[in-house]
Structure 1
Amino acid sequence: MLAIAGLVSASALASAASAAPAAHAGSLGPKVIQTNQAPTGYSVTFRYQAPLDVQAVHIYGDWFYSRPEAVTCQDCGDGRPPAQWQPGDVPATPWRILPLAKGADGIWTITVPLPSGTFRYAFTHDCASPLATGCVLHDDPANPWEVQPQYPGAPGAVRSRVYVPNSKKFPTYDNAYQAPVKAARAGTLESRRYTSPLSTNPAGVHDIVVYLPHGYNPSRATPYPTLYLSHGSGDNSIAWTMQGVAQHILENAIKDRVVQPMVIVSTDFNGLPGGNQGYANELRNNIIPFVEQNYRVSPRAEDRAFGGFSAGGSRAFTILYDNTDLFAYHAAWSWGGPAATPAQIDRMKAVTGGIHIGTGLQDRLGNIAENSQLRVAALRAAGVEVAEYNVNGVHTWDVWRQMLDNYLRNVAFRATTTSLEVDTAPAGQSSNVKVTAIAAVGAVTTGGASPSGRADFYVGDVHLGSAPVRGGVARLHKTVRDGLDGPVVARYRGDKLFNGSQSSPEDAAG
């Protein structure tokens, strides 16, 4: 087992070694500055040391903006730099380069005003393309990703990232859910390699990144639930933790006490034959067995969730439609999805956890925004329950981080079931009856916590009363005038960790 928090890539070390003269390490890298000035209230100063023979250095970052209505096609929009950010903007593509200035000390510097959020960036040397087309991207040696690509030729350029808070004076986006938590609350990341007879690159083995929550206990009595994530085209297994900051999103939800601790597995679909179904086979035959053999996670499908975006969203639909049994919770983001067959509809109706589908509303790549909404409408019309979550945005990580946060806080591992028993007895010599209604409320996922809160009891639209849920049971004792005139239904309200549920109507016995 290799814990890799804090590793520096060989390429980063080589880049630092070739730069001269050496600068003090503390003077390099990004510095987040609270300016309390328009337009965003914050800026970031980047200080970078390039090799002596470099004549020009630019920074390449995902911080260009557009009004949503201006995004009429893929890569269309205003394309304004961060200094021109406006309220209501969405992060848009394509990225462009911004020039750094070389100081008397030989250090290249730029200060960029930025709204709140997580930003990726890299440096170019003597790049003439405004979009950095054909230029080599260099990560920041003073601020490298904690996990580097795990095999030679892994897709995705090496970059660095920085988080910017939201300004109270000049509020931009509520992205606090992406902020790194204090070390005392942080979990760990592990780079793992497992045997994969299906893999062609690397041959015979494949890679995942595993996140273990703070306080992970390999001997815990209750096994942890597991969230499996897929990247999109052009990325690999490090994407969800390095670019998507899935670990920070989860840790903030845990801090807010709306999510239970879980293990996250970030997968890699590159080098696996068979397309979407080949990836599903890899999950079933290799990834899930490896994780369940090496970590204290549950082997139950009810305790597993999946999510993927873009090309990973395409795989998510294949898993949802044709490999439904692998997971109780499914999420497909930024992908329209094919039409479902009657057999696929029946499988989705039987999902015990939940289904989450969403997109950026300005995602014009292959008309994803429209197709995703049409797919949800079709599934609902067929009787499939879907939690839909759409936001302003294009085909970018800004959207996918929001998707994951909403999935964790509203769907994944939150499902409950409610069953009901009802008894009646005469109340003296009158026509009134004593009603005893006992609702059993249980979690679909066995993550360690139990549902709490209250359950309400109804006859039709008439509210009989409510009772607290204690030890998974809510008991209502009530005398009803002239008796019950229909079946009773129990409705669990839900709490911070669990969603509500409703029992089937039950006629009274007795």
Structure 2
Amino acid sequence: MSVATSRPPTSTPSRRLAIALLAAATVAAGTVAVPAASAAPPAPLGPTVTRTDKPPTGYAVTFRYRAPDDVQQVHVYGDWFFSRPENIPCQDCGDARPPTEWQPGDVAATPWHILPMRKGPDGVWTFTTPLPAGTFRYAFTHDCANELGTGCTLHDDPANRWQIQPQYPGAPGAVRSTIYVPTSRKFPTYDTGYQAPVARIGRLESRRYTSPLSTNPAGAHDIVVYTPHGYDPDRAEPYPTLYLSHGSGDHSTAWTMQGVAHLILENAIKDRAAQPMVIVSTDFNGLPGGNEGYVDELRNNIFPFVEQNYHVSTRAQDRAFGGFSAGGSRAYTIMYNHTDLFGYHAAWSAGGPAATPTQIDGMKAVTGGIMIGTGLQDRLGNIAENSQRNAAALRAAGVELDEYNVPGVHTWHVWRPLLNHYLRTLTFRATTTSLDVTAAPVGASHHTTVTATATVDAVSTSTSAPSGTVDFSVGDTHLGSAPVHNGVARLRKTLHGELDAPVVARYRGDKLFNGSHSSPVDAR
């Protein structure tokens, strides 16, 4: 995709910010060209973000769109309707307030509505609205009479079209234009800076691979692959890989187009909260066999293709999986029955069936980690209630998991923060801590010198080694702490009397690695 913008006749700070934000919102999907200034050019087509410092959100977006001459009315259709959380008793229920009526504490809710645009003397349709911070999807309708856009054709924005279009005939997903709005300091709305466009971006590409299982396209299938900024196919350590699954009505472009997964990753890397990884967005459409058929596709076709064409690890502990809705159902199938494929698992906005004792034993052996999350107002099939119920049942059965839920319904406004949490708190962050202890008496003084050596190892491949601090204890008594150097922390302590209980080492973790602890070691 190539988006052209024009400079205004005068360059005010507000106008410069608007153009910069428009460029940033589209640069991840293509190249933005800015031609030289000309005499009084027309305003550019596409969206323009403007800082207003006015309520309710401090920012406004103007959409400019040219429709065919015979179109009588154009509407804009976007996922920016809001509700109080307590006013969402069912799916597609709620206040359905437009952005002009946004209030603090609102959640983005369904259904979407169409809003009328106005045709100017230049033949361009325009619409301006305040918007809170975040990423929003939008499209246009022509002569649509249904308030919800039902039955109306959705047209993406030709001035802001996503770079990867549907890869095969009949690919689902119709809203392929997005806009990012920053957070206003004067009128704060949502903390969504982790979704913001970044200056340093990697490579996003659509890849087709051979798939004997695929029925659409027959004999082949598609993925979208993101290689992070600075990706080096020759570096000593192979990259870890995050595999993502969309939900019903989407395909492999969804996680980067609508979910901005690549931007969420790059922001986490920039904050030194995640390490570089390759993202593979899969497509379960056209694969027979339901969830198990999807697993077969991963094992037999997707893994081999990715591992042959990209510098990624082939170890399970260097793979992570995440999926929402129908993709969350696939995540449950994988974490219940195929834990050998991934070291890290995440199921989002999916109720999940009850686990059997055998499945629970398998999850207890997961080397990386497990995350379950949902939107707290997700009423689609009682997903919010069922997700929390299932997480509680797994914890009660002894499965260690990270449950993270956010306000919201069954939308991308929920799945983006869930992915962000997964990247910053779980994926490829696991460690193990082992301990060696020796105890020696000090002459006849009834003292004992204890030497405890803890070794902290990263479970997944990394270019960095764990750092930070290890705490050593005997029972409830804290012996002391020691820094980690080259994966090792050592403490030497002289005690009065003998060592009367096992020693445990607890690694606190650091920005890139999670904590872990050793098994008790008895050196008596």
Contact 2:76–2:138 under 8 Å retained in 1? yes
Residues 1:347 and 2:358 are matched in the alignment:
no
2:352 paired residue among 313, 317, 337: 337
1:441 paired residue among 446, 456, 459: 456
**Equivalent in the alignment of 1:74:** 91
Q: Counterparts in 2 of 1:296-335, with a 5 A limit? A: 296-335=311-350
**Equivalent in the alignment of 1:289:** 304
Q: CA deviation at 1:152?
A: 1.2
- Per-residue Cα deviation, 1:338-386 (whole angstroms, up to 9, x for no partner): 0111110110010000000000010000000000000001101111111
* Distance in structure 1 (CA, Å) of the matches to 2:456 and 2:378: 40
**Equivalent in the alignment of 1:192:** 207
Residues 1:65 and 2:82 are matched in the alignment:
yes
Residues 1:172 and 2:156 are matched in the alignment:
no
**Equivalent in the alignment of 1:20:** none
**Equivalent in the alignment of 2:412:** 397
Residues 1:40 and 2:57 are matched in the alignment:
yes
Could you tell me the TM-score, scaled by structure 1's length?
0.95
Aligned with 1:324: secondary structure? coil
Contact 1:137–1:159 under 8 Å retained in 2? no
Aligned with 1:390: secondary structure? coil
Contact 1:258–1:409 under 8 Å retained in 2? yes
Q: State which drifts further: 162-171 or 140-149.
A: 140-149
* Distance in structure 1 (CA, Å) of the matches to 2:484 and 2:43: 54
**Equivalent in the alignment of 2:508:** 493
Q: Percent identity among equivalent residues?
A: 75
2:424 paired residue among 409, 416, 419: 409
**Equivalent in the alignment of 2:523:** 508
Unaligned runs of 5+ in 2: 1-26, 32-39
State how many pairs are aligned: 490
- Per-residue Cα deviation, 1:72-120 (whole angstroms, up to 9, x for no partner): 0011100000000000000000000011000111110010100000000
**Equivalent in the alignment of 1:84:** 101
1:169 maps to a residue whose letter is: K
* Distance in structure 1 (CA, Å) of the matches to 2:501 and 2:29: 64
2:439 paired residue among 419, 424, 428: 424
Contact 2:138–2:175 under 8 Å retained in 1? no
Q: CA deviation at 1:483?
A: 2.5
* Distance in structure 2 (CA, Å) of the matches to 1:159 and 1:148: 8
Contact 2:447–2:494 under 8 Å retained in 1? yes
Q: CA deviation at 1:159?
A: 2.2
Contact 1:303–1:447 under 8 Å retained in 2? no
Q: CA deviation at 1:428?
A: 3.1
**Equivalent in the alignment of 2:226:** 211
2:280 paired residue among 259, 265, 268: 265
* Distance in structure 1 (CA, Å) of the matches to 2:366 and 2:288: 28
Unaligned runs of 5+ in 1: 9-22
Q: Counterparts in 2 of 1:56-205, with a 5 A limit? A: 56-182=73-199, 185-205=200-220
* Distance in structure 2 (CA, Å) of the matches to 1:193 and 1:48: 33
* Distance in structure 1 (CA, Å) of the matches to 2:414 and 2:30: 28
Could you tell me the TM-score, scaled by structure 2's length?
0.92
Contact 2:336–2:355 under 8 Å retained in 1? yes
Q: Tell me: CA distance 1:415–1:462, structure 2 relative to 1, closer, same or farther (3 Å).
A: same
* Distance in structure 2 (CA, Å) of the matches to 1:480 and 1:251: 48
Q: CA deviation at 1:449?
A: 1.3
Contact 1:324–1:351 under 8 Å retained in 2? yes
2:249 paired residue among 229, 234, 240: 234
* Distance in structure 1 (CA, Å) of the matches to 2:325 and 2:41: 41
Aligned with 2:509: secondary structure? coil
Contact 1:413–1:445 under 8 Å retained in 2? yes
**Equivalent in the alignment of 2:391:** 376
* Distance in structure 2 (CA, Å) of the matches to 1:219 and 1:375: 43
* Distance in structure 1 (CA, Å) of the matches to 2:373 and 2:307: 29
* Distance in structure 1 (CA, Å) of the matches to 2:442 and 2:204: 62
Aligned with 1:373: secondary structure? helix
Q: CA deviation at 1:7?
A: 6.1
2:56 maps to a residue whose letter is: P
Residues 1:221 and 2:201 are matched in the alignment:
no
1:154 maps to a residue whose letter is: A
